[in-house]
C-alpha cells in the first residue's frame, strides 16, 4: 500500500504519525514536507473533500498567523484556501492519503483508519 503524508518534522503528532506509517508492514511512504513543497490549491481542495473537512475545519489556529490574517471569524472558505496556499503553516497537520482515503491524523491513531 502507498501512503503519502504531508509532514512537518517540527510537529510531534506528525512525527508519531510518520512512525506508525513506517512501522506498518507493506506500507510504502512518500513524505512531503509541505513547508518546503507547498500545497497547490487543487490538492488542498481534494484532500479536504476526501477527508470530509471544510477549509475552516482544517485551519491551524495555534502557532499560525490565522488570527493576524483575519481567518478566525467569518472568513469565507475561498479566502482561507488562498492563504493556506500562500502560508502552508495554516494547514493543520498531518494529512495522510492512501487508496483507502484521506485523514487529518489528529490524534495520530486516526491514520490506522486508512491502513
Q: Nearest CA to 38 among 88, 78, 3, 80?
A: 88
Residue tagged active-site, from 1, 8, 10, 11: 11
Cα torsion 115, 18, 40, 44: sign: positive
User: H/E element holding 6?
Assistant: strand 2-7
Q: Is 105 a catalytic residue?
A: no
Annotated active-site positions, please?
A: 11
Amino acid at each position: 500500500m502507498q501512503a503519502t503524508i504531508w509532514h512537518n518534522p517540527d510537529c510531534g503528532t506528525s512525527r508519531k504519525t510518520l512512525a506508525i506509517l513506517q512501522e506498518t508492514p507493506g506500507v510504502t511512504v512518500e513524505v512531503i514536507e509541505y513547508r518546503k513543497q507547498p500545497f497547490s490549491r487543487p490538492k488542498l481542495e481534494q484532500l479536504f473533500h476526501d477527508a470530509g473537512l471544510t477549509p475552516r475545519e482544517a485551519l491551524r489556529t495555534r502557532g499560525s498567523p490565522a488570527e493576524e490574517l483575519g481567518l478566525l471569524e467569518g472568513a469565507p472558505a475561498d479566502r482561507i484556501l488562498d492563504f493556506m496556499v500562500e502560508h502552508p503553516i495554516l494547514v493543520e497537520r498531518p494529512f495522510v492519503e492512501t487508496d483507502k482515503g484521506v485523514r487529518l491524523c489528529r490524534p495520530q491513531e486516526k491514520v490506522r483508519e486508512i491502513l
